[in-house]
Structure 1
Amino acid sequence: VEVLEHSLTENSFDRLLLYFPDPWHKKRHHKRRIVQPAFAELIAHRLKPGGIWHLATDWEDYAMHMRKVLEAQPQFENIVGPGQFAPRPQWRPLTKFEQRAHRLGHRVWDLLYRRRIN
């Protein structure tokens, strides 16, 4: 986060990928989750207009949280439609966390948001 804040300029990225961030399961730790309104605002400034933010998680509560945060951020639009989760893109790499999720029978949620061009 510090690198994003202090070392990178606005409109630096065409795409940002955030796959399987720590969900901080316990309610008292939810404030430690990386996807928070302030972080979404920071990403909105670092992505180029039209840039894509792709997120994935195997933790349902975190998926709902990420969607809520990004739907509330006016600089982002959900590529697949308001409030929707995206199907898993074929080009997304299969991470060890996703492999573990499948072994445990967990679903995986993908979110695809675009920074608005206005």
Structure 2
Amino acid sequence: KKRHHKRRIVQSEFVLLLARALKPGGTFHAATDWEPYAEYILGMFDAADDLFSNSAGQGGFVARPAWRPPTKFERRGERLGHPVRDLVYRRR
């Protein structure tokens, strides 16, 4: 997945675009089974802590909400031993 780095949607420009598009109180929810990407997303949004707050506290992950069913990719990742990380950020 290292070669996919440049195609990741969450990049600094995306975070700024999202900040302009979301009203205060709006949320961004991401889920991934790739730990390095989860850490990368944390870094991108934690660097913009003046614009977004992490619903789990800085550097934390939330539990998968009941309303979001696991995808076939998540089930595959879990079978491979990759924990799925959910991240929820709220626009300040």
Of the two, which has the highest radius of gyration?
A: 1
Partner of 2:90: 114
1:79 aligns with 2:55: yes
Give the root-mean-square deviation of aligned CA atoms.
1.3
Identical residues among aligned pairs (%) = 58
Q: Which has the higher contact order (CA 8 A, sep 6+)?
A: 2
More strand by share: 1
Partner of 1:58: 33
Give structure 2 stretches of 5+ with no counterpart: none
TM-score, L = length of structure 1: 0.72
Partner of 1:30: 5
Runs of 4 or more, structure 1, over 2 Å off, are none
Query: Size of the alignment, in residue pairs?
Result: 91
Give structure 1 stretches of 5+ with no counterpart: 1-24
